[in-house]
Structures are given as structure tokens and as C-alpha cells.
Homo-oligomer: A and B are copies of this chain.
Amino acid sequence: MAAAFVYKADAVRGRQWAEIFRAEAPDIDFRLWPDVGDPANVLYLAAWEPPTNLSGLFPNLKLLFSSGAGVDQFDFSALPPRLPVVRMVEPGIIRGMVEYVTHAVLDLHRDMPAYRRAQQRREWQPLKVRAAAERRVGVLGLGSLGQAVLSQLVTFGFDCAGWSRSRHALDGVHCHAGAAELHDFLARTDILVCLLPLTEATRGFLDDKVFARLPRGASLVHVGRGPHLQTADLLAALDSGQLSEAVLDVTEPEPLPAAHPLWAHERVRITPHIASMTRADTAARVVIDNLRRFARGESLLGLVDRARGY
């Protein structure tokens, strides 16, 4: 029997994966959930939300792929303990995120929220133009997304910094690491970009204490996950003037209910979780590449450290 690969996520994308597997990995029996065939043959699963009782259902499962960028939707404690989990690292996600964050940072840097408000009042009111070198951008999270975003931002001449749990070195970026360097990082950041993974350690990270450490009038670009943000703290910081603007691509919950106060806040811009999208074509090819690596005994791209949760 051929090794079977089960896809359990958006069906439209699943059919695109099926075509690519048929053309480029005909040796693998690609199946769209719930048509899994003989469960004993299922060695690989790609899912946004895995089925419960995974080891009972697929006793020979060798790899679990997340169909999207994060793995925070997985309950690791409910997964077979030694099952390798692979997150999605593919160029479509990275390019989309670089576009979104560059747009948001330029929007804030060039005072576009103020110009949109001036247009509503029909006011022609030039503001002082500041050079990018005078604008301090700070990125929380230095994974593949954070690194790609910073690589683009430095080309504009922004004064760039990054913070992550472990030490990184990036060209043209002031890198900060660990809790001990968080305050210095925040104190020098005019535009804060959140690209942290969502784990128990980062849930609620964006709170009044973090906002209070930023320079007065700083702005937030949140492209992590909704639960990173303490929404009430954000609204209070905007209303006190501690923060001047917020760009949110993720909220808690999603979709954001129509009655939520974020929608109508003059200094909040909301987009419906569209900063970056997995492209079905490149995602399927990245997974096939990882299956080949697995067969050759090579290391997997995007392998999750289950103890850290990302």
C-alpha cells in the first residue's frame, strides 16, 4: 500500500494541494478529509484543526503539518507525545507579511491616519516630514516573518530594532534578547510591530505595562494573534495619548463582532486577518519538499519545538 497523506482544512485549497501532489508526488496517496481510506496507511496529516484521538485514529502517523503559519491552534497536550509537528514556512506567507507591515509602518511614519482625518474635514494641512532614520521601529519576534519584515524596513532607512527570547544577529538591526532587554527595546520604539508566536508565555503580552514602557505617542502594528493583545489596555492607552495609533490585523474574537468598540475608534484601523495568507500552490510544494527530506532522514523546515510551543 502507498503511504497516505490526509489533508484536513479548507476544501478549496485542498483540491489545489491534490492537483500538485498528483503531478509532483504521485507516489503518495493524497486524500481529502474525511475520505481517509485505510487509516493504517495514513503516515502524514496536514490540518488546521487535527481530529481528536489522533493516535487512535491514525496509529501509524509519522508527521503532523499545520496548514497555516501558526501552530497555536494545536493543543499539544492532546497530540501523541513524540509526534513531530511542522509549521508552515512558505514564501506566500512571508511576502504577504512583508507587504502588510511595510504598508502599516509607512502609513504611521508618514502620518497617513492624520491626513485621512484632515481629508474628512476638507483641510489642506501639511505636517512636518520626518526622515525614516529618525523613526524607531521595533519588531517583537525574530522568526522567519520578523526577520523578513526587518530586512525590508532597513532598506527604507528606518532605525530598526528587534526583540526575541533568544539572541539573534541581523544586519542593520539592534537585536535585543530576553526579559532583561525588553525594557530597553520598548523605550526606544516609536512603532511597535508584534510578530510573536502565541504561546502561554506570550498570551496577553501586549498590555498596559508594555504600552507604558513605549515613548509617549508610540504606535502599534499587531500582526501576531488576537489573544496577544489586552484590548481594554489598548483602548485606555489610545484614549490617554500614551499610544497614538493602532493597526490591528488580528483580534479576539475573530471575526470581530459588529458591536465591538475597536471598530469605531478613530485611532484604530482593523483589517480582517489578511496580512498574510498561505498560498495553496507554494504551501503544497513546501510540504512535498519536507516529505522528501523526511524520507532522506534530513532535518525538516519549520519543525516545532514542542516544549517552546513554536
Contact = CB atoms under 8 A, between A and B. Distances in A.
B110 A106 contact: no
Contacts of A109: 99
Contact of A264 (B103, B122, B263, B272): B122
A57 to B, nearest CB: 31
A170 to B, nearest CB: 17
Nearest to A123: B258
A155 B98 CA distance: 11
Interface size class for chain A? Answer: 35 or more
A279 B131 CA distance: 9
A299 interface: no
Contacts of A116: 116, 269
Interface in A97-154: 98-100, 102-103, 106-107, 109-110, 112, 115-116, 118-119, 122-127, 129, 131-132, 152
A76 interface: no
A254 B126 CA distance: 11
Nearest to A125: B272
Contacts of A132: 95, 99
A127 to B, nearest CB: 7
A274 interface: yes
Contacts of A122: 258, 260, 263-264
Contacts of A37: none
Given A100-B110, A102-B106, A119 B263 contact: yes
A238 B8 CA distance: 43
Interface in A257-277: 258, 260, 263-264, 269-274, 276-277
Nearest to A115: B271
Given A103-B112, A107-B103, A95 B131 contact: yes
A92 interface: yes
A152 B156 CA distance: 9
A258 B100 CA distance: 32
Given A119-B263, A152-B155, A129 B272 contact: no
Contact of A103 (B106, B125, B271, B272): B106
A270 B119 contact: yes
A232 B116 CA distance: 22
A255 interface: yes
Given A106-B99, A119-B269, A131 B92 contact: yes
Contacts of A95: 131-132, 156-157
Given A107-B107, A124-B254, 16 more contacts: A99-B106, A99-B109, A99-B110, A99-B132, A102-B106, A103-B107, A103-B112, A115-B272, A116-B269, A119-B263, A119-B269, A119-B270, A122-B260, A124-B256, A124-B272, A129-B274
15 contacts: A99-B109, A99-B156, A106-B106, A107-B107, A112-B271, A115-B271, A118-B272, A122-B260, A123-B258, A124-B272, A129-B276, A129-B277, A131-B279, A152-B155, A152-B156
